[in-house]
Chain A
């Protein structure tokens, strides 16, 4: 099955009106569209950067706080400047956008403006009709990020249509190249870190805080994030991690949101190849975030590309016995107890520490990377949290 339509949605800077877009997002994903939601109060640069990195067909902007003519035009202009005018722009703003405004916005290159009273069905129909066609052959990418984004789309598409890779020669070459035993041998040695753990443990926030530390420490380097959200084959998905990330909206961060498109275990069929591509693409760090996983998941077990794995736990995992069942506790290099400001966290730390103790002899006998597992307590939501500092030190060693 070909890749679903991918749309980026956002609310402009200085605008917190997110109730309309929340409803529209849900309607889109119910109708087979992958929605990358960037959230509210987002500047033009963040929207365009995200749209290019995510390689979406179109950007939907919901604006209720005025200044829409300028804002929409600025998005169109920046897309054009970045050579990404194959990405279209549409939007709405209830009663705040008049018909005259909409006419002016169309003249400036906006595809469509929906007025108050437009039904959700009409919007969905519009997106399918206007952006559902296969993409025309695209001109040479104008930037490194754009090229990377196109290639990632090709890989996903190749997997989607079930190995019929001859229709996408690029993807074929790429998938071949990742068959190299150690793809990292070819590149400037990025550190590839896998983050996994149950939903709601705070993986995304933690990654965003680590990105902030990286950007502050390293004045030039770049970082890539491959972030997963669940979806069913042929269905839509809400890819919403960007909406809560405040530090990762930066030119030095390349982020790609991937829907699992039916694969269980926390990753997508295309993950391995996407990761291999990113690992060769001159980033200092490549971070991969799984979907929220269950106890049995071991997303990185066979994946030689990942240098170290971080399991992010919530202090609320249930009884102590539950810990025995979590497979990643055997495998992770670093275990993080996030939300360690919660009352339950002290007990959680002690119990997990004991659980990791059990692994020690086994891991030593297997020579598992020769390192003991580390246990770190963090409060990712807290600015300048010392636990996150420590985690950053550990993974940047």
Chain B
């Protein structure tokens, strides 16, 4: 049985354990009394917030139960926020206003106006356009009102495929759909003006195939600006999710096995040297966007996660070292499953990590970034997209996501423009800061009977998917025989069919359509030719300047890769003097190119 099969067993076993505890709480009087006592203590300690209208509300809402069996069910099956199995939340407090305005039931509670550090805003907006300096300007614009600077970087096509801007036939794609990065010098420009070593800064980079090379460039750029001492302080995430690329997104540059090997090399390095870095973001978003059902999205994301954990453990990286450095990324659309998809994922992850991988508490957390669904947005009557995204935002925060990106309403037909980006960002402000839905009571909308019903159904369906993958020999075997890919394509086809036959209503498209089907006038963000040429010119200059050094670095890299050693130290050296395309090309000579699955 692979680890995934063991995960299925561990969840089944845990569910049985919960039932046993419920029974015990009802039969074993002492156990029941203790639970009740603890429950009452917990409730008494919950601080109270005052709303602007003067209404007192608990910062955490707990169910009105006083029967030991039900208390046991809540404590063990869901867990308080920040407690195993983390159904409710990874942390004790989220989204809440600073406690300055709160009082406590406790007699000696903290009522002084002591300065309290504010948590990071959960808003993290994805951005990347034209050249590094242009994206840098956009980053400064986006974060100008924020306490903390959480940047999320989109790369252009050539970068995502590990190619240089001067590669044959990519000219028109330079800086389109994301930022063009060829060298460490571009990386320096990209985050110019931000303090990379600050605890208030973090950089997220959405790139997978060439992730180890881009990561090496980021480190090299940080070293250039702040010296080698900055490395252990760097905070951020690189996506680096090879499985989902092969399953859904098609941006893979090496065959699967060496891709996974280079990824593990990077993880081995960052978990040791950069304790605050997330070297992988296990992503269901692209699986969802490629057309999967919500259950498939969660099941493939979780099973990919367990497969990575198995791989890293096999490399000898301790689970409590890599576990806390894994992060997740899910899509949130409008289907009913999204009422609890992330909640259930958090629970399965925690149980599997604890009971199959022996992970400690910090390594059990399913730390989640959510993005609202791009696929749910349409061009027809596109202003409706604001409502779609707002609804998805509520669902995301009901699921206690750790951070969230809200899509711009103009996304279906263009690279988002500033007006719609601002509206998308303000949507989050309105929900979290203006409305009273989350800021007084973190779990205001959790725990309804409907939500519980969704939780049960979704968990059972995810475990069924796990069993199917296990039957095929585990994640890697299933990926190689295109199992997930075919399933996703099938689901995508069904979705389109439902839109076509009207069983899936899309307002303004197949329902309440006004007939006015004009594509809105939009000002497109396109990279001017002169900028594209500038990128090519400075890349060529860089290559010329470093010809000899690059050759030595690449020879060394090729040799290390050929011997099967960890390539990351050699990549760090190469990143100083080589372009992305040079590194990709050389590694492909050694390990081959990815053969597309169709």
Contact = CB atoms under 8 A, between A and B. Distances in A.
A358 B258 CA distance: 41
A115 B170 contact: no
Contacts of B249: 16
A17 B290 CA distance: 9
Interface in B566-598: 591-598
Contacts of A208: 595
B598 A117 contact: no
Given A43-B169, A67-B157, A69-B172, A95 B379 contact: yes
B172 A65 contact: no
19 contacts: A15-B157, A17-B250, A19-B492, A23-B496, A37-B598, A39-B596, A40-B250, A67-B157, A68-B172, A70-B173, A95-B412, A116-B413, A116-B519, A117-B517, A243-B596, A246-B596, A383-B255, A383-B258, A384-B592
A168 B73 CA distance: 82
Given A14-B163, A41-B596, A71 B172 contact: yes
Nearest to A100: B524
Contacts of B173: 12-14, 65-67, 70-71
Interface in A187-223: 205, 208
B172 A98 contact: no
A14 B592 contact: no
B259 to A, nearest CB: 12
Interface string B56-75: 00000000000000000000
Contact of A116 (B174, B291, B379, B595): B379
Interface in A308-352: none
Contact of A99 (B177, B519, B598): B519
B304 to A, nearest CB: 18
Interface string A92-115: 001110110000000000000001
A117 B492 CA distance: 16
Interface in B63-100: none
Interface string B523-535: 0101000000000
A336 to B, nearest CB: 18
A155 B309 CA distance: 57
Contact of B524 (A43, A67, A98): A98
Given A67-B157, A95-B519, 5 more contacts: A14-B160, A22-B598, A66-B157, A116-B413, A246-B593
B161 interface: yes
Contacts of B251: 16
A117 B379 contact: yes
A122 to B, nearest CB: 14
A240 interface: yes
A96 B413 CA distance: 5
Given A19-B492, A116-B379, A116-B412, A14 B158 contact: yes
B493 interface: yes
Contact of A98 (B169, B250, B380, B519): B519
Interface in A30-44: 37, 39-41, 43-44
Nearest to B509: A117
A379 B214 CA distance: 31
B168 interface: yes
A65 B251 CA distance: 12
A381 B595 contact: yes
B10 interface: no
B481 to A, nearest CB: 10
A41 B161 contact: yes
Interface of B: 156-158, 160-161, 163, 168-174, 176-177, 249-251, 255, 258, 290-291, 379-380, 412-415, 489, 492-493, 496, 517, 519, 522, 524, 526, 591-598
A98 B170 contact: no
B373 to A, nearest CB: 15
Point out which of B171, B492, B594, B598 has the most chain A C-beta atoms below 10 A from its C-beta: B598
A45 interface: yes
Contact of A22 (B380, B489, B517, B595): B489
A75 B524 CA distance: 24
A384 B171 CA distance: 32
A18 interface: yes
A369 interface: no
Contacts of A240: 598
Interface string A213-247: 00000000000000000000000000010011010
A74 interface: yes
A40 B25 CA distance: 59
Contacts of A96: 413-414
B597 A244 contact: yes
Interface of A: 12-19, 22-23, 37, 39-41, 43-45, 65-71, 74, 94-96, 98-99, 115-117, 205, 208, 240, 243-244, 246, 381-384
A71 B174 CA distance: 12
Contacts of A71: 169, 172-173
Nearest to A26: B493
A68 B176 CA distance: 10
A13 B170 contact: yes
B255 A74 contact: no
Contacts of B598: 18, 22, 37, 39, 240, 243-244
Contacts of A43: 168-169
B290 A14 contact: no
Contact of B291 (A13, A19, A382): A19
A205 B177 CA distance: 32
Contacts of A16: 249-251
B168 A70 contact: no
B250 A14 contact: no
Contacts of A41: 161, 250, 596
B596 A70 contact: no
A23 to B, nearest CB: 7
A20 B177 CA distance: 18
A343 to B, nearest CB: 9
A66 B176 contact: yes
Contact of B169 (A22, A44, A205, A381): A44
A209 to B, nearest CB: 9
Given A19-B290, A115-B519, A243-B598, A70 B171 contact: yes
B180 to A, nearest CB: 11
A303 B291 CA distance: 47
Given A14-B170, A45-B168, A116-B413, A66 B380 contact: no
Contacts of B593: 246
Contacts of B290: 19
A362 to B, nearest CB: 37
Given A14-B163, A16-B251, A66 B595 contact: no
Nearest to A116: B379
A70 B174 CA distance: 11
Nearest to B589: A383
A277 B567 CA distance: 49
B519 A67 contact: no
Contacts of B522: 98
A74 B596 contact: no
A381 B172 contact: no
A44 to B, nearest CB: 5
B157 A65 contact: yes
A382 B594 CA distance: 10
A14 B161 contact: yes
Contacts of A68: 172
User: Which 8 pairs between the two chains have the least Cβ-Cβ distance?
Assistant: A70-B172, A16-B250, A383-B592, A14-B157, A66-B176, A67-B172, A95-B413, A67-B173
Contacts of B595: 205, 208, 244, 246, 381
Given A14-B173, A244-B595, A95 B160 contact: no
Nearest to A40: B250
A318 B170 CA distance: 47
Contacts of A246: 593-596
A45 B172 CA distance: 15
A383 B157 contact: no
B591 A45 contact: no
Nearest to B596: A39
Nearest to A47: B169
B562 to A, nearest CB: 10
